[in-house]
Amino acid sequence: MESGDSLFSIAFRYGLDYRELAKLNRIDAPYVIYPKQKIRLGGQAKPSSNVANSTSSSTSSTPLIVNNSSTNTSVVTPVKEAKKSNVIDTKNDKPVSDWSWPVDGQVTRGFSNAGVSSKGIDIKASQGALVKAAADGTVVYAGSGLIGYGNLVIVKHNDVYLSAYAYNDSILVKEKQNVKAGDSLAVIGGKGSDRPLLHFEVRRDGQPIDPLEVLPKN
């Protein structure tokens, strides 16, 4: 399954709070964006260091032109025409209840914010394992458009927390789908010869945090 950009995937890629990104671009809930729409990132934006060959390597307030098509994300030249994208109703003030592990397995790489960093954790699991939602929420991204994450699912849990599930073999959910903790999101995949493996991230107010801060201790 492939999908184009959403406000959430853009915010995720550049380590931004989607609410601040929406405010900067005067986009109201439910945060509809359009093909070829200019999205200003602000001076603090920079691509995640987890992503290879990103579209930018420095901070910039220059508008990003997004292609919101049914294919992979790309940066394109500006055009005047715009068509409506999918609407995702995202308002949710409900606090996150109990978190749970997305797969059973061993953490093989921990979280780091220094240097060439891992913005989440890598979990080694069994072949064919199902990747589960770590908490209740709504799928706001399901696709392969974010370079460096493979088949990726992003779940919005409330107005503060997002979780991301990367390098999946296949995706089992669609954008706008509501999920409960423990619901299957994808089939585990991996990166290169390192499989089966799940890369799992948690974002709080747009910033990556160590998932072990919220996951129950094994």
Asked, for residue 22, whether it belongs to a domain, the answer is: no
- C-alpha 80/C-alpha 1 separation (Å) is 29
Asked, for residue 95, whether it belongs to a domain, the answer is: no
Asked, for residue 13, whether it belongs to a domain, the answer is: no
- Report the number of distinct structural domains present in the chain: 1
Contacts of 213 by beta carbon, 8 Å cutoff, 6+ apart = 202
pLDDT confidence of residue 36: 74
CA atoms within 13 A on the CB side of 53: 7
Please say whether the beta carbons of 141 and 85 come within 8 A: no
Asked, for residue 131, whether it belongs to a domain, the answer is: yes
Range 12-19 average pLDDT: 78
Asked, for residue 158, whether it belongs to a domain, the answer is: yes
- C-alpha 96/C-alpha 9 separation (Å) is 21
Going by C-alpha positions, the residue among 134, 138, 146 that lies closest to residue 13 is 146
* 45-56: pLDDT as tens digits: 555 545 433 333
Say which CATH number the domain at 208 has. Answer: 2.70.70.10
Asked, for residue 134, whether it belongs to a domain, the answer is: yes
Asked, for residue 202, whether it belongs to a domain, the answer is: yes
SS3 labels along the chain: CCCCCCHHHHHHHCCCCHHHHHHHCCCCCCCCCCCCCEECCCCCCCCCCCCCCCCCCCCCCCCEEECCCCCCCCECCCCCCCCCCCCCCCCCCCCCCCCCCCCCCEEEECCCCCCCCCCCEEEECCCCCEEECCCCEEEEEEECCCCCCCEEEEEECCCCEEEEEEEECEECCCCCCEECCCCEEEECEEECCEEEEEEEEEEECCEEECHHHCCCCC
SS3 65: strand
Range 7-29 average pLDDT: 79
pLDDT confidence of residue 51: 43
- Inform me whether the pLDDT recorded for 73 exceeds 50: no
Range 146-175 average pLDDT: 94
When comparing pLDDT for 87 and 138, which is higher? 138
pLDDT confidence of residue 54: 36
Beta strands at 189-191 and 184-187: parallel, antiparallel or unpaired: unpaired
Residues spanned by the domain of 208 = 106-213
Asked, for residue 78, whether it belongs to a domain, the answer is: no
